[in-house]
Structure 1
Amino acid sequence: MTVKRLPLWAKIVTGVALSLIIVIAIAMGLAPALVKHVIEQDGSAKLHRRVVIQGPVGIDWSLDPRITLNRVTVANPPWTKGAMVTMRQLRVRIALLPLLHGHVLLPSLVLRRPVIHLDKPGPTRANWVFVKQKPRKPRPKPPVIPRIGRLVITHGRITVHDGPAATDLVLRIRSVKPSTRLLLSGHGRYKGSPFTLKGALGSPTKVESDRSPYPVRLAIHIGRFLARINGTLIAPMALKNVDLHVMLKGAGLGRVHKAISLPLPQTGPFQISGQLTRHGHTWNLAHFRGLVGKSDLEGTISVRPGHPMFMRANLTSRFLNFKDLAGFVKAKPKKVNGHVKVVPHARGANKVLPAKPYKRSQLMKLDANVVYRAEHVYASHMRIQDLYAHLILQHGVVRLAPLNFGVANGLVAANYTMNASQPIYRTQLKAIARGIHLRLLFPKVKFKSAGTGRIGGRLQLSAPGNSIAAMTAHATGHLGLALANGSVNNLYVALAQLHIGNAALDWLSGMKQERIPCAVIRLGARNGLAKTRTFLIATPSANIIGRGTINMRRQTLHLTVLTKPKHITIISARGPLHVGGTFKKPVFSVSRKALIERAGAAVALGALLTPAAALLPLIDTAPGHKVDCPALLNNAGPKAHAEALKSAAQRAKRH
């Protein structure tokens, strides 16, 4: 049997086919070694770290070839030992056809026992900081991000050591129901505080989805701070359509600063919760409810990030204790004999006014429009009702207009403006108080059943300065107070609660049974120095008058108070009461000699009784208790006052 010889064209086709088969066979045999070499060389060059594949490399050929890498390591920088990354196995499937269109699609990615060690032994070294590359020209298009169809992580572990931050963490991650969710857990110390983490996230394969909600459930403990987050996100990488229930709890907002580096003030224990959503660029916290100490708070808050950030809030409290929020006004709570006392940040041994400047940089970062209402406010021993405040912060200008509240059955209305848009702030304050009951103003004081009295007043100040101490040191304006239907005894009891010293109380003791039908005090301030304009406490037997200065820059007192008797009584020869010292440590003293020496100043003292009729309507006396304050002021005019002073001095000299 003879075999036909193949034609030439058939021989050529057969030869080419056999050659291709041989080449493909050789390529498939060499491919694993080539892939290993390329990954090691390219990875090492880009990371400036040695990348090694210690195990075999497997390739399953198809239109979606699967590549398996075993025992992969990424070395640490030379200054530390061991590996930064180790992985028992990495298995990835690559879709070839999408590559033709510039898309990277990984139908599946499996990471078995990945371990990452993050180490920062000092402030200038961290193994996750790679060698800086030379800056490149901006790319016209963003880099291509691979799309992952299915992700599986088994026994993943991340260790974190940050020496300067006193942080040592162990985090674990693993897949549950592949392509569905990831379980997270962790423990260790974060910034020196005990740390635990438990939670679950949706599959990373869904982070770019614009349709599917991405579930989030986390519980984080840092010391005594707890955060719980539960809800969904749309496209988590872009934070679209956020809908999360958030609960925060801790021993104090000031301690949260240590945990999350937010500049929050010192407060009591707190717990807040609400529904956090995001629409466009605006974040909203709705159904917000919380407790700070014993103070409750609820309402809505919205924040729009930017430069500056803008916040809008409508908040309500049923009960607010000022000491719970003392840190918000630059004061710090301090325990004294088991009780919390608000201590301002004062500068100097004899200074009491807070000298810590308000931070202009913080004010310029935020614009705000906040409305706040509180039914009951407890500030020290004072009870406040029906507080209403509207705060507007815009371009460094703070406006509190109005600030209205009820106190002691009376009303206070105030407007406050601080312009911090310039290096030296400018502050303006206007306030009116009307019909305040002295008895209710000091609820713990045991007054007599009658003659408690009502108080009213006006305050208007303007001042430059970047702290409370600086503002008062340069303040210009006036203060007026008026009292009706009071008594010396009740004034004596009230002053005793202020621990003003025995000298002042002894000076008043001889008049304790006297009523005070009317009292008016007016001060005028210029550049931090306040002088008395009117000082009159009218009683049936005598008028108590005074003059002096209050130096708000030095925080010192220099006042003289004396009696103008209407009849010859034992108090006729009483010497003047001197008030000196500092705001922190006032000094009271009585001297008969000074009365004789100062008799020539009678006309000057009398001139201080200037008209103060504008204050009288603010007293708001009760029905049936009409007080003729104008007549009392006229009877204590300059001429009568001077004559009485001279006669009192003569009587004192004879004695």
Structure 2
Amino acid sequence: MRSPTWRAVLKWTALSVAGLFVLILLLLAFADWNRLKGPVERMASARSGRTVKIDGPLDVHLWSLTPRASVEGLVIGNPPWEANRPMARIDRLNVQLKLLPLFKGDIILPRVELVRPEVYLHRDVQGRANWTFQNTRPSNAPAGKPPKLPVIRDFLIDDGRLTIRDEILKLKVDGTVQAHESIAEKETFAFHVKGKGTINEQPFNLSVGGGPLINLDPDEPYPFKLQVRAGDIRVESDGTVKKPFDLGKVALNVHAKGGDLADLYYLTQLALPNTPPFELSAHVERNVKMVKVTKLAGKVGQSDIGGALTIDASRKRPAVTGDLHSRQLRLKDLAASLGSEPETPGSLEGAAEASKPAAKNPNARLFPTSHLQVDRVRAMDADVRFEARTIDAGSVPMQKVAFHVKLDDGVLALAPFELELPQGQLSGTARIDARGKIPQTKLDLRAKDVQLDQLKGKKPDAQPPLTGVLQGRAVIEGQGDSVHDLMADADGRVSFILPSGQVNAAFAELTGINVARGLGLLLKGDDEKAPIRCGVAQFEVKDGRMRADNVVFDTKDVRIQGRGEIRLGPEELDLSIKGEPKKLRIARLRTPVEVHGHLRDPSIGVDVGKVATQGAVATAIGAVLTPIAAIVAFVDPGLAKNENCAALLDSA
């Protein structure tokens, strides 16, 4: 008997496999799928990590190039930490699938129909989200990839309900979802998501709309429109999903305006600085976890801004890099980022009123009291450069501002920042370590070759009180989550030196009294000047108190000394400035000039008690001797000597 050939074996094997395949198809075609609900539920629960239940009938039709399935009473549960309610409940779900595109790796669903779906999305304060499968991750873990959904040609949603609760963004939204084959009467879009609620306890409205999906192609972009209203922030966008429905590849043209850029944190989770009202537009492209912001243009306060940014969301903390620039920067528009109160709170339209003089607040502080939001500083990294080509700084002439912002693992640095004057430069570094409970700050500020005669105000006939080239440095360390708290705790040293210069009689005009006479300068006219041989002002800073350690200005005829302190916490001045003449002076008040009051509004004058004492001495001498002899009380022998300027400047 001949043994079977290999061809016969192959033939019978193929027939057996084909027969088995046909048998399986017949079993699947005529099977009672409701008997398989249990295995389907268990398999779906195991794959998703959620409890999946089918309360109604299950029906599957396989004999077609577009097989379909229908299920009623579908319930998808939440992870164990959110077990109070299901994540989704759908009265009826109908799904149809194209078989042939599967061979190319494309999933195309000709029809998806959801009847009365209810979806609940929740993220807790720890960053766990019920819509991801990494629900034990902390809030500082890298963000998951955006969902990539199959192409849906005919998407019908009837009476959909959407509930969103995000405890990090303080977002509460209850909305509706509708999708139809065509645009219905009185509707703008065939696909429409509407939501209403609150964000950070402010009103929130969301609207997303798109066209019919009936002719959607997986290789053609799908356009949509987005509108968001969050408090006083308005965001409008025309966008496209480049490869439907891969939400990781989206392009948007965005227009946004509002009262403060920092409020965009609740929409973007980016720690942006506080600002006056803004209006900006930009082109945004998202490629999975990389977001590029280009063509950024608009206004912040009364300053223009432009540039480009890149956001990397693949890291443990999202990182922002880029370059920004301004053609015309108003320096007051930077004040809010340091914690100062905005000039015109509320809406963008209020910026037009910024030029109007505001009523003076008697309780206003020089050092802002707004607190640094350390949780936001710790939640992202940044490396951004900014440069302004022209500056509006009021009476201070400035030509350029540039700074480099670095934020890395809770440490915020300006390294460096520069403010250029027509003659001179202000520069330095700042470092805020917000990793601990209380932020630690170190400032190193420098004034280099600053010509004092350029600081004379904007009046045509304005004269500078001092002339000369000023050099200075301030090194301050302290702790606190506001500028005020930092200064109230500050330690360090502040030094200024003036190698030479002149003091003008106009200095008296700034005080309301004849300071020049009180210091013994005896200037007669506004245009007269007294040469300054050298000058030094050094302050030791300890626990928020600036004590005058070495304050000496030596002029040709008078040696001027200062003493006292500046209390940075209450922002109070207690300084005394005394002039000692080098020549005989007759009819001179031997009393120092006193500087008191608040830093924002100091009072400058002479000690009335000491003047009265000097007058009483003169009266007594006149009564005992003669009236002419009373002049002796107002005579200063002028025993002061020239300061050793070389040694004085060297010590500073």
Using structure 2 for the length normalisation, give the TM-score.
0.66
CA shift for structure 1 position 253:
1.6
CA shift for structure 1 position 153:
2.0
Contact kept? 1:535, 1:608, Cα under 8 Å: no
- What do the CA deviations read for 1:545-592 (whole angstroms, capped 9, x no partner)? 22214356666644332344555443x134222335664785655124
Q: Aligned equivalents of 1:559 and 1:545: distance in 2?
A: 13
**2:94 corresponds to:** 90
**1:535 corresponds to:** 552
**2:624 corresponds to:** none
Contact kept? 1:47, 1:130, Cα under 8 Å: no
**2:445 corresponds to:** 429
**2:75 corresponds to:** 74
CA shift for structure 1 position 270:
0.8
Q: Aligned equivalents of 2:460 and 2:101: distance in 1?
A: 92
CA shift for structure 1 position 34:
3.0
Q: Aligned equivalents of 2:276 and 2:135: distance in 1?
A: 48
SS in 2 for 1:300: strand
**2:274 corresponds to:** 266
Change in CA separation of 1:173 and 1:436 when aligned onto 2, cut-off 3 Å: farther
Give the AA of the match of 2:563: G
Q: Aligned equivalents of 2:360 and 2:245: distance in 1?
A: 44
**1:326 corresponds to:** 335
SS in 1 for 2:235: strand
Which of 570, 579, 596 is the aligned partner of 2:595? 579
Contact kept? 1:48, 1:130, Cα under 8 Å: no
Which of 522, 525, 533 is the aligned partner of 2:536? 522
Q: Aligned equivalents of 1:236 and 1:23: distance in 2?
A: 34
Contact kept? 1:73, 1:86, Cα under 8 Å: yes
**1:15 corresponds to:** none
Q: Map 1:476-515 onto structure 2 (within 5 A).
A: 476-481=493-498, 484=501, 487-488=504-505, 490-495=506-511, 513=525, 515=528
**Which range is displaced more, 308-317 or 81-90?**
81-90
Give the AA of the match of 1:195: N
Change in CA separation of 1:52 and 1:503 when aligned onto 2, cut-off 3 Å: farther
Change in CA separation of 1:334 and 1:106 when aligned onto 2, cut-off 3 Å: closer
SS in 1 for 2:398: strand
Q: Aligned equivalents of 1:387 and 1:478: distance in 2?
A: 24
Change in CA separation of 1:479 and 1:512 when aligned onto 2, cut-off 3 Å: same
CA shift for structure 1 position 437:
3.5
**2:427 corresponds to:** 414
CA shift for structure 1 position 474:
1.4
Is 1:52 aligned to 2:55, yes or no?
Answer: yes
CA shift for structure 1 position 197:
0.9
SS in 2 for 1:62: coil
Q: Aligned equivalents of 2:112 and 2:463: distance in 1?
A: 86
Q: Aligned equivalents of 1:487 and 1:24: distance in 2?
A: 104
Contact kept? 1:93, 1:109, Cα under 8 Å: yes
Which of 398, 416, 427 is the aligned partner of 1:385? 398
Q: Aligned equivalents of 2:380 and 2:125: distance in 1?
A: 28
Q: Aligned equivalents of 1:130 and 1:448: distance in 2?
A: 69
**2:172 corresponds to:** 167
Q: Map 1:179-578 onto structure 2 (within 5 A).
A: 183-191=191-199, 192-200=202-210, 212-234=220-242, 243-277=251-285, 283-305=291-313, 306=315, 311-333=320-342, 352=367, 359=374, 362=377, 365-378=380-393, 381-391=394-404, 393=406, 396=411, 398-401=413-416, 403-406=418-421, 410-416=423-429, 418=431, 420=433, 425-437=441-453, 441-443=456-458, 454-466=467-479, 470=486, 473-481=490-498, 484=501, 487-488=504-505, 490-495=506-511, 513=525, 515-519=528-532, 521-528=535-542, 529-531=546-548, 533-536=550-553, 538=555, 543=558, 545-551=560-566, 557-565=573-581, 566=583, 568-570=585-587, 572-578=588-594
Contact kept? 2:45, 2:51, Cα under 8 Å: yes
SS in 2 for 1:324: helix
Give the AA of the match of 1:442: G
Q: Aligned equivalents of 1:238 and 1:148: distance in 2?
A: 9
**2:118 corresponds to:** 116
CA shift for structure 1 position 82:
10
Contact kept? 1:533, 1:610, Cα under 8 Å: no
Q: Aligned equivalents of 1:400 and 1:608: distance in 2?
A: 41
Give the AA of the match of 1:404: L
**2:12 corresponds to:** none
SS in 2 for 1:323: helix
CA shift for structure 1 position 491:
1.8
SS in 1 for 2:257: strand
Contact kept? 1:242, 1:277, Cα under 8 Å: yes
Contact kept? 2:536, 2:553, Cα under 8 Å: no
SS in 2 for 1:442: coil
Which of 152, 155, 158 is the aligned partner of 2:158? 155
Structure of greater Rg: 1
Q: Aligned equivalents of 1:22 and 1:422: distance in 2?
A: 66
CA shift for structure 1 position 291:
0.6
- What do the CA deviations read for 1:13-59 (whole angstroms, capped 9, x no partner)? xxxxxxx99999998665254355655676689744653116xx554
Contact kept? 1:351, 1:583, Cα under 8 Å: yes
Change in CA separation of 1:478 and 1:188 when aligned onto 2, cut-off 3 Å: same
Change in CA separation of 1:328 and 1:521 when aligned onto 2, cut-off 3 Å: same
Q: Aligned equivalents of 1:358 and 1:301: distance in 2?
A: 22
Change in CA separation of 1:237 and 1:67 when aligned onto 2, cut-off 3 Å: closer
Using structure 1 for the length normalisation, give the TM-score.
0.66
**Which range is displaced more, 270-279 or 390-399?**
390-399
Contact kept? 1:183, 1:199, Cα under 8 Å: yes
Give the AA of the match of 1:90: N
Change in CA separation of 1:218 and 1:372 when aligned onto 2, cut-off 3 Å: same
Give the AA of the match of 2:206: T
CA shift for structure 1 position 66:
3.4
- What do the CA deviations read for 1:252-295 (whole angstroms, capped 9, x no partner)? 22333455554434322211112234679754322221211211
What fraction of aligned residue pairs are identical, expressed as a percent? Answer: 13
Q: Aligned equivalents of 1:23 and 1:422: distance in 2?
A: 63
CA shift for structure 1 position 68:
4.4
Give the AA of the match of 1:196: L
CA shift for structure 1 position 114:
3.9
Residue correspondences, number: 557
CA shift for structure 1 position 459:
1.0
Contact kept? 1:314, 1:370, Cα under 8 Å: yes
**Which range is displaced more, 126-135 or 506-515?**
126-135
Contact kept? 2:523, 2:529, Cα under 8 Å: no
Change in CA separation of 1:238 and 1:251 when aligned onto 2, cut-off 3 Å: same
Contact kept? 2:235, 2:255, Cα under 8 Å: yes
Change in CA separation of 1:328 and 1:575 when aligned onto 2, cut-off 3 Å: same
- What do the CA deviations read for 1:343-391 (whole angstroms, capped 9, x no partner)? 9xx9xx999476957959837953525141231223xx43443214142
The CA RMSD over aligned residues, in Å, is 5.6
Change in CA separation of 1:384 and 1:363 when aligned onto 2, cut-off 3 Å: farther
Contact kept? 2:149, 2:246, Cα under 8 Å: no
Change in CA separation of 1:568 and 1:278 when aligned onto 2, cut-off 3 Å: same
- What do the CA deviations read for 1:603-623 (whole angstroms, capped 9, x no partner)? 9995894417999xxxxxxxx
Contact kept? 2:66, 2:97, Cα under 8 Å: yes
CA shift for structure 1 position 199:
2.6
Change in CA separation of 1:556 and 1:163 when aligned onto 2, cut-off 3 Å: closer
Give the AA of the match of 1:320: L
Change in CA separation of 1:103 and 1:559 when aligned onto 2, cut-off 3 Å: closer
CA shift for structure 1 position 129:
8.4
